[in-house]
Structure 1
């Protein structure tokens, strides 16, 4: 007697199922990773070459290899160009790559955890807490920690917000994902109102402009000494998520199916929400709340590699890095010499994508007869 054929579990809304039939319709995963890696290398080179002072790509890598000690030849570039590449553009480009990769990875995991294609990294309100911390530093002129005061205050605000969200979402010793998300939305709205109140009661217009620039996100002013923290948060987050990729795949089948397969859904979600919120807090503290990266890139990547998180996570990290590096290049050059906050450009891309995603899901629900 033959065993009954196994049927593929239903996928989450907006997330493709991870069946074997995808392999024949999509390019090999290794080819996709190599292509994204090469594109990231080109993007980083362009980010260090393009600007008010153009530096040829060959000279860019000559400066970099010379600084790393791999090139002992006599420099043929000026000291000013070396300073522009190494001290101004290189840390900025690397922060863009790290932030873009981190937001894309966090967005991918968030969409799996809540089984909602519209989920994004700021779902639990950590960006509002980070904004409040940064705004408090700007408005009140706090500088106890020198140039890193704003970043430290932003991270502290995101961490306190996370604790507040979890304490308000806990009921009867348990935390459900629905209560957690609702608590994050409510706390985020309150903190946003406090930020607006601080701006309205502030005396100077310079503070308002500084707050607006920060809340729109930007990569300027980063230094090598502050780059290690977001990079470490990204690496730790990706490592943990890759280890938990199978559990994320199980969540796509639904809570009941995941439970029958041995996953403690409530505990797993709570741990992942804490991890993702901490990574998001670090990234927001470093670059400000840059929106829509974590919403768009996971969906785009799934079109090429499918829904298996063992493939989606590394591909999303590379794609997010490429996207934000080029967004920052556009922010620096489109209206030069004035610089556009990079969050404005990501919103201009992400807003239409968000509307398209909602219309697509609405059409799918209509086709399935869902009210």
Structure 2
């Protein structure tokens, strides 16, 4: 057992005795049960969610369409051409993108809450989402005449998130040190400035339709999902998950405190910088493909901790799967609640996430 393992175990299990090995095995089985259960729920949710919408399609028909498409078999007449187009061109990319975005937002929330030691940390709090929204709003409002299309809009959102993350990092860094308190304060300050700038851009625009487009896009939507955006988003999310899993033990130490991390040979400022850059890249890709979606990065990590505890090696995959399932079904509600009109996804996640946050607040009050 490494010194880091010992420190984390001493922090997590201060009263552990001779039954520690048995308890460790029990918690490992518990974590794997959660992972397998959530993965099963996600796999079942995909064909069911694909079939739900203004035009309902049976899950069996969805599976037949997917099987025929993947195998390259000719249309057997078991489904119509319109159903095939709806499933393959609209619903499958949308559901897969929703799963990727939900997982990525949950991972970003886990990472930011660990490096700031703040239970309210999420991409919105550190200004990363605001940066993406500001540049994307500028592209929508003032780039149409220059021929800015969907690809350039995504690039603008990605660049905005990355620039905001770097600026927050530089603002929070004093000398060679960067503390969690300065990081949170810098993120909040930058976020307010960028939010005001986005509002100013909308106010300065003469096109009311463009203003409504910005408002809808900044509240989040999966309606623009394509095969390319799904592939790029999944690559970014899987890369983020891999890096966070690699940093899981240092994140455990950082969550205990900077002093503990330094005693174990971890440089807190360097780790925060690395996690901040990775998170900014991830959130930039997510906002570029789906707009700004709130509450997922805030609430899902807390729900995951209630399920499996705070050890990041286990928390990271559970939070990612929970986020994926949550956003897939939030999107189903967004496109069916007021069909044929679609609700912005950010409104749905706020309505679903707020009660969960209220319950978490009451649970914290009960404990304290």
Aligned equivalents of 1:275, 1:325: Cα separation in 2: 24
What is the CA–CA distance in structure 1 between the aligned matches of 2:180 and 2:27, rounded to whole Å? 34
Report 1:31-46 matches (<5 A): 31-46=33-48
Q: What's 1:294 paired with? A: 297
TM-score (normalised: structure 1):
0.89
Superposition map of 1:182-261 within 5 A: 182-261=185-264
Aligned residue in 2 for 1:58: 60
Equivalent position to 1:326, from 324, 329, 340: 329
Aligned length: 354
Spell out, residue by residue over 1:212-236, the C-alpha distance to the aligned partner (whole angstroms, 9 max, x if none): 1011111102111222221111010
In the other structure, the counterpart of 2:317 is: 314
Maintained 8 Å contact 1:302/1:312: yes
Give, in angstroms, the shift of residue 164 of structure 1: 2.0
Does the residue aligned with 1:316 lie in a helix, a strand or coil? Answer: helix
**Residues 193-223 of structure 1: per-residue CA shift (max 9 Å, x gap):** 1111111122121112111101111110211
Q: Deviations along 1:158-193, whole A, 9 cap, x unmatched? A: 122122222322322433332222111111111111
Deviations 1:100-120 (CA, angstroms, capped at 9, x unpaired): 011111111211111122211
Distance in 1 separating the partners of 2:248 and 2:27: 22
Check whether the contact 1:132–1:194 (CA below 8 A) recurs between aligned residues: yes
Contact 1:91/1:223 (<8 A) preserved: yes
Q: RMSD of the TM alignment (CA)?
A: 2.3
Write 1 or 2 for the structure with the bigger share of helix. 2
Partner of 1:139: 141
Which residue does 1:16 correspond to in 2? none
What residue ranges of structure 1 are gaps of 5+ in the alignment? 12-18
Match of 1:48 among 45, 50, 54: 50
- Offset, 1:32: 1.5
Report the Cα offset of residue 268 of structure 1: 0.9
Give 2:268's aligned residue.
Answer: 265
Deviation at 1:64, TM superposition (A): 0.8
- Could you state the TM-score of these two structures normalised by the residue count of structure 2? 0.89
